Structure 1
Amino acid sequence: MTAGGAREEILKLFRQKGGGFVSGEEISRGLGVSRSAVWKQIGLLREMGYTIEAVTSRGYRLTGIPDALTPVEIQAGLDTGVIGREVIYFEETDSTNARACALGEEGALEGTVVVAERQTGGKGRMGRRWASPPGVNLYTSVLLRPPIPPVLAPQLTFLSAVAVALAAEEVAGLAAAVKWPNDILLGGKKVAGLLNEMSAETEAVHYVVLGIGVNINMGAEQFPDDLRYPATSLALEGGRQISRLEFTRALYRRLDELYATFLREGFGPLRQKWQDLCDVVGRRVEVDTQGRIQRGIVLGLESDGALLLEAESGEREKILAGDVRLLDG
């Protein structure tokens, strides 16, 4: 058993006791290691931020956990059907999307999630850089294998957007708005971004990776000066620190619920939820589509995820990609 595996097993034993004591002998026997090895692993858990009480003749008791996005903590009480059935954790990686795509190629189970404390090559839509400081945010990617044709895969971007907005309300009490195609806003400032990637053939999707980055406890001084749009975090908007662990679990639960509905009922319910959260539906906007500016009233989403715009000419136009800016305040 690896050292990391031993620590996870110790934490599972603590949880089974429901806050009670676990003797060193019981841990030693359960793991098949010496008492001194148990003591060493307890010390490492304390270094990771766990509060563990030790009482002679009674053993050890877990009294506090860190806000750490480790597999054992994420999965504790997660209670999902698909999302998070396996959690792959990195202290540091280039990109959680890159790791999830590699897992997809290797045949990893649907619902596998990748989470990292820090990304060295985080990226957003159109190749833009995503700032990824350690210990304050959520950087995660979710591997799905939906039984849908590739043409419908873009609909899953809205799955992520709705899930993030609902999790922000549930955990932080903040009313987030979604912005087409893949931003989540608080007070008009970007709090999260999404990047989907897909592997498919003409008629079949091999896998879809939902890349999700959420600014949770990021301070104002941690944002880069060269951001394209104003940004914020849940903590800055809510005026308090937010549990990353609690938010991550809530996000995975929401994704699980929404994905199950999507597979069962199609895009309709998800599209309606997205439109309910979108603050530009019915408002006048300007859309920059690679240098071509289009203005009009947002009517909503098409079935393929395109933005439906009533142009100034009165004609309806489908926007497949672009940056949206509100014109009526």
Structure 2
Amino acid sequence: MSSTRNKLIELLSKNEAQYISGQLLSEQLNISRSAIWKHMNELKKDGYEIEGKAKKGYRIISYPNKISENTISWGLQTDWLGKKIVYRDSITSTQRLAHELALDGAEHGTIVIADEQTKGKGRVDRNWHSQKGKGIWMSVILRPTILPYLAPQLTLLTATVLANVIDQYAKIKPQIKWPNDILIDSRKMAGILTEMQAEQDHVLYVIVGMGININQDQSDLPDDILNKATSLRIETGQEWEMLPMIQQIIETFESKYMHYIDNGFKEVKQNWENYGFRLNERLQINSGNKRWEGLFLGIAEDGALLAKTDTGIIEKVYSGEISWF
């Protein structure tokens, strides 16, 4: 959102109970009366209800709940994350567009968000069902000052962000299934896809994609995932406003990301294990050609899964398919 439009909404919101004249707005913003009128029309397109009366001026009646670059930006309390937001009504994949933008030089903290993805994707090129207006489909472009081998920690960091926000926002405690799934009652509500472009000792960029099921009901879920997936609405029995949740995710992400960059992984590890799915239970690990069983101990200082084999050896797992008994 332009800084002018941001200031315009701020002036209107401070004077909700009364009209504010076009002349005063013009003086405060240092733009013409006709420019004020054009900005008002743009805000109306975004769903702001604004009343204009001759000789009185303008006043804001209601704020939109729809998602757009403007509505996300307004009131967003961040220093760098989301200063550039690219919104699409419908898109093949926010992840794909984020890669294109990153290769074209998009700045650290750029966000790509859409109402609908027609070809949303999860890990291992799996499809992600991304129905219009039913969830949060968002990718974040990061240019972190970390070594490439540490990039998987950003998946675990993002999982703690989503778990914290869901916990605080909906008062329902989710669990994190290593490394990238957010579960409620053992069913998947959200997934994270982290992709990186790097040189040997330098990260060029990281794209962190998030797919979060919010307002689907049972009939919205495809048959093949009906028993494995869920949404915030299914779990709580109520519909949720997505805009404040998106802003809370962005603000929480910036705060936790900066703490991680400044202080390392220790607090992320503790937070992750607070939400860890089936910690201290037996699991089966398929990694490469190796299949074995063990006890899930948590995550290591570098983010790897820690499991104790039946012979008492503690193994680190960096990739693979995990299943529990």
Distance 2:301 2:83 in 1: 30
Distance 1:52 1:118 in 2: 28
Aligned match of 2:71: 73
Match of 2:117 among 113, 116, 119: 119
1:192-234 residue CA offsets vs partner (Å, 9 max, x unmatched): 0000010100010011111011111122211111228611111
1:257-284 residue CA offsets vs partner (Å, 9 max, x unmatched): 1111111111111111111110322111
Distance 1:144 1:43 in 2: 34
Q: Quote the offset at 1:107 in angstroms.
A: 1.8
Secondary structure, counterpart of 1:273 in structure 2? helix
Secondary structure, counterpart of 1:226 in structure 2? helix
Distance 2:211 2:130 in 1: 9
Unaligned runs of 5+ in 1: none
Q: Does the CA contact (< 8 Å) of 2:46 and 2:70 recur in 1? A: no
How many corresponding residue pairs? 320
Match of 2:273 among 272, 275, 282: 275
- Aligned counterparts, 1:1-329, within 5 A: 12-17=7-12, 18=14, 19=16, 20-24=18-22, 32=32, 34=34, 38=37, 45-46=43-44, 48-227=46-225, 230-289=228-287, 292-327=290-325
Distance 2:21 2:124 in 1: 54
Secondary structure, counterpart of 1:72 in structure 2? helix
Query: Aligned AA for 2:233?
Result: A
Q: Quote the offset at 1:24 in angstroms.
A: 5.0
Q: Does the CA contact (< 8 Å) of 2:22 and 2:33 recur in 1? A: no
Distance 1:320 1:292 in 2: 13
- Distance change >3 Å, CA 28–CA 133, structure 1 → 2: farther
1:106-142 residue CA offsets vs partner (Å, 9 max, x unmatched): 2222111111111111100010000111112111111
- Distance change >3 Å, CA 308–CA 58, structure 1 → 2: same
Taking only aligned residues, the RMSD between alpha carbons, in angstroms, comes to: 2.5
Q: Does the CA contact (< 8 Å) of 2:23 and 2:33 recur in 1? A: no
Distance 2:55 2:33 in 1: 19
- Distance change >3 Å, CA 205–CA 76, structure 1 → 2: same
Distance 2:249 2:118 in 1: 23
Unaligned runs of 5+ in 2: none
Distance 1:11 1:221 in 2: 39
- Distance change >3 Å, CA 300–CA 228, structure 1 → 2: farther
Distance 2:5 2:146 in 1: 41
> TM-score scaled by structure 2?
0.89
**Further displaced range: 306-315 or 250-259:** 306-315
Query: Aligned AA for 1:14?
Result: I
Percent identity of paired positions between Structure 1 and Structure 2: 34
